Amino acid sequence: MSTTAEPLVEPAGETRRVRWPMGPWRAVVMGAAVLFVLSLVQNMTAGSDDLTSSGTAGAALRLAVPILLAGLGGLWAERSGVVNIGLEGMMIMGTWFGAWAGFEQGPWQGALYGALGGAIGGLVHAIATVSFGVDHIVSGVAINLLAVGATRYLASEIFVDLPGGGENQSPKVVGSVGKFSVPLLSGGFDTWDPLANVERRNWFFLSDVAGLLNGMTSNVSWLTLIAFGLVAASAWFLWRTPFGLRLRSAGENPVGAETLGVNVYLVKYVAVVMSGAFAGLGGAFLVLEQATIYREGQTAGRGFLGLAAMLFGNWMPGGLALGAGLFGYADALQLRSEESVHALLLFIAMGGGAVALWLGSRRRVVPALVALGIGAAFFVWWMVSDSVDRDIVRMTPYVTTLVVLALATQRTRMPAADGLRWRRRAAV
């Protein structure tokens, strides 16, 4: 996410490229391995059933969605070459409009208006950066400030007169979008719920897998499904359609794209407005599915976490989903069970050991020792403590992102022209 081209501060070291996401089979195997260790830890520690319970999985999914949508917004914008720091502000717009429409009309309208509210923010950002050539980050910060002010003002004008509303909160949203469960697997439409059955049996590994799957397939809100669907749809749109190809080309080499007749202005505008719409939808989701009201400050940095998930996922939708899922999982675990959080320490310790073995087998001695050291440190931490302080847990998504960035920035594949203040080159 460079602003102007910065060629000068380049750390030494090779730039080996890593493809992300990895092939599907490899991902499945790695996922299974991770789950295996997780079940192990769950069985070894007391009171940590929530590590792999369906309740946690369900909560994780729900908590991941706003981050996911914000990250999706970031992805659309950055893929077209525009850095969008204003996601937080656009999300805030989404919370306000979502609550207002949700109260006045209904939850579905709330979702729609939330997206529209965010899209307005996106439009402002697009005008400033694409048409006027303002620095992307400056514009994003300005939008964040503006969104806070605008929603505060609107709340004092409109919510104050409504029942249950006030200067910094709205009346309750009426109704909800409804939930969905997969039939035949998770009891949808009153059919069997074999997954829940297996989960109850407490069989090693199998029950854990069943628990996680069950959480992700039963009582899932339709909005959640839509959100994940949007991620898949984005992947299809950006990689399989002509417009998507042109959008991504604007983020890689706008000058070259222009010589081929791509309307770079148009694709950037579309990308940034959509980016705002996604963030707005994420905000609306926060209101509709979690809080049922608008409350000032409820986004709490999720817009930035979305950016972090996007970076974690190397600007790819699959990686983004994984990142959002991880952040949601950590959040869910923390809300539900302190012992489980503590057990996570052991998990990380074992993970560190496994990584050290793998690195050692590739003869990368120093990194292997570092991984071993980290694993050992976490093990000690697990041994000497009973629980992990809330605030420390709060830090984890951000620390994780920093660590990932520190290790992998040189290997990530940012859109080549991200952040470039581009101007159309007309024939001279």
Partner 1 sequence: MSHRSVPVSHEEVDVSEQAGATPAIELVGITKRFPGVVANDGVDLRVETGSLHAIVGENGAGKSTLMKILYGILKPDSGTIRVEGQAVHFRSAKDAIQAGIGMVHQHFQLMDNFTVLENIVLGAEPRRFGATIDFSRARARILELSEQYGLAVDPDVLVEELPVGARQRVEILKVLYRGAHILILDEPTAVLVPHEVQDLFASLADLTDRGVTVVFIDHKLDEVLAHAGRITVMRGGRTITTVTPQEVNAQQLAELMVGSELPKPSTDTDFSPGSAALETRGLTVRSGERLLLDDVDLVVRRGEIVGIAGVEGNGQHELIEALLGLERVDAGSVLLEGSDVTGWSTRERRSAGMSLIPPDRTREGLLLDAPLWENTALGHQTERPYARGLWVDTRGARERAREVVASFDVRTPSVDVPAHALSGGNQQKLIIGREMVMQPKVLIAAHPTRGIDVGAQAAVWEQLRRARRAGLAVLLISADLEELLGLSDVLRVIFRGRLVAQLDPQRVTAELLGSYMTGVGIEATA
Partner 2 sequence: MNRDLLRRVAFAVAAPVLALAFSLAVSSFVLSLSGDSAIDAYRLMWEFGTTLESIVVMLNRATPLYIAGIAVAIGFKMNLFNIGVEGQYRIAALIAAWAGAELALPGVINIAFVIIVAMAVGAAWAGGIALLKVTRGVHEVVSSIMLNYISYALISYLLLNYLQLDDESQRIHTRRLDADSRFPTLNSVVELFTRDIRSGFDLNGMLAVAVVVGVLFYVLVFRTRFGYDLRASGANPWAARTSGVDPKRMVIATMLLSGGVAGLIGMPEILGSVHWFSDDLVTNLGFTGIGIALLGRNHPVGIAAAALLFGFLDRSSQILDLEGIPPQIVVIMQGVIIISVVVAYEVVARVRRAYEARETARVDPEAVAPARAGAVT
Residue 23 binds partner 1, judged by CB under 8 A? no
What are the distances in angstroms from CA 235 to CA 14, 56, 280? 30, 27, 19
- Please report whether residue 192 would count as binding partner 2 according to CB under 8 A: no
- The nearest distance, CB 272 to partner 1, in angstroms, is 20
* Partner from partner 1, partner 2, none binding residue 259, C-beta < 5-8 Å depending on class: partner 1
Record the tokens describing residue 279, joined without a space: 């963030």
Q: Which of 270, 342, 299, 313 is nearest to 125 (CA)?
A: 270
Binding partner selected for residue 163 from partner 1, partner 2, none, CB under the kind-specific 5 to 8 Å limit:
none
Q: Count interface residues toward partner 2 (CB under 8 A).
A: 55
**Residue 427 contact, options partner 1, partner 2, none, Cβ 5-8 Å cut-off depending on partner type:** partner 1
Q: Is 256 in the site for partner 1 (CB under 8 A)?
A: yes
> Shortest distance, CB of residue 249 to partner 1, whole angstroms?
5
- Say if residues 79 and 317 touch (Cβ distance below 8 Å): no
- Reduced to 3 states (helix: H, G, I; strand: E, B; else coil), residue 220 is strand
Q: Is 152 in the site for partner 2 (CB under 8 A)?
A: yes
428 binds partner 1 per the rule CB under 8 A: yes
* Single residue of 82, 85, 173, 359 touching partner 2 by CB under 8 A: 85
Terminal CA-to-CA distance of the chain, rounded, Å?
Answer: 30
Binders of partner 1: how many residues, by CB under 8 A?
Answer: 23
Closest approach of partner 1 to the CB of residue 245, in Å = 6
Q: What is the DSSP secondary-structure string of 183-231?
A: TTTS-GGG---HHHHHHHHT-TTHHHHHHHHHHHHSSEEHHHHHHHHHH
Smaller CB separation from partner 2, 68 or 147? 147
| Beta carbons within 8 Å of 175's beta carbon, 6+ residues apart | 106, 107
Binding to partner 1 in span 258-297, by CB under 8 A: 259-262
Q: Is 311 in the site for partner 2 (CB under 8 A)?
A: yes
Contact 372, 352 (CB under 8 A): yes
Query: Which listed range, 131-139, 200-208, 225-233, 326-334, lies at the site for partner 2 (CB under 8 A)?
Result: 131-139
Closest CA relative to residue 297, chosen from 126, 123, 167, 104: 167
Contact flag: residue 147 with partner 2 (CB under 8 A): yes
Q: Distance between CA 368 and CA 365 in Å, rounded? A: 5
Decide if residue 307 touches partner 2 (CB under 8 A). yes
Rounded Cα gap, residues 110 and 281, in angstroms: 9
For residue 27, what are its two tokens? 């991902």
Of 389-408, binders to partner 2 (CB under 8 A) are: 389, 391-392, 394-395, 398-399, 401-402, 405-407
Q: Contact, 71 vs 84, CB < 8 A?
A: no
Residue span binding partner 2 (CB under 8 A) among the ranges 104-112, 150-158, 177-185, 345-353: 150-158
Report residue 328 CA to chain centroid gap. Answer: 8
Residue 6 touching partner 2 (CB under 8 A): yes
**Greatest alpha-carbon span in the chain:** 75
Q: Please give the backbone phi and psi of residue 397, each rounded to the nearest 5 degrees, phi first.
A: -60, -35
Instruction: Give the distance, in angstroms, between the CA of residue 251 and the centroid of all CA atoms in the same chain.
Output: 21
Residues in 329-348 that interact with partner 2 by CB under 8 A: none
Q: Per CB under 8 A, which of residues 354..413 are in contact with partner 1?
A: 413
Query: What span, in angstroms and rounded, lies between the C-alpha atoms of 314 and 79?
Result: 11
Q: Which is nearer to partner 1, 384 or 428 (CB)?
A: 428
280, 94 Cβ separation under 8 angstroms:
yes
Structure tokens at 10: 């380049």
Q: Per rule CB under 8 A, is residue 252 in the interface with partner 1? A: yes
358 binds partner 2 (CB under 8 A): no
| Residue 215, both tokens | 């959480």
Closest contact distance (angstroms) between CB of 416 and partner 1 is 6
Report the distance separating Cα 57 and Cα 80, nearest Å: 33
List residues binding partner 1 (CB under 8 A): 17, 240-242, 245-246, 248-249, 252-253, 255-257, 259-262, 413, 415-416, 426-428
List residues binding partner 2 (CB under 8 A): 1-4, 6-11, 83, 85, 124, 128, 132-135, 137-139, 141-150, 152-153, 155-157, 301, 304, 307-308, 311, 389, 391-392, 394-395, 398-399, 401-402, 405-407, 409-410
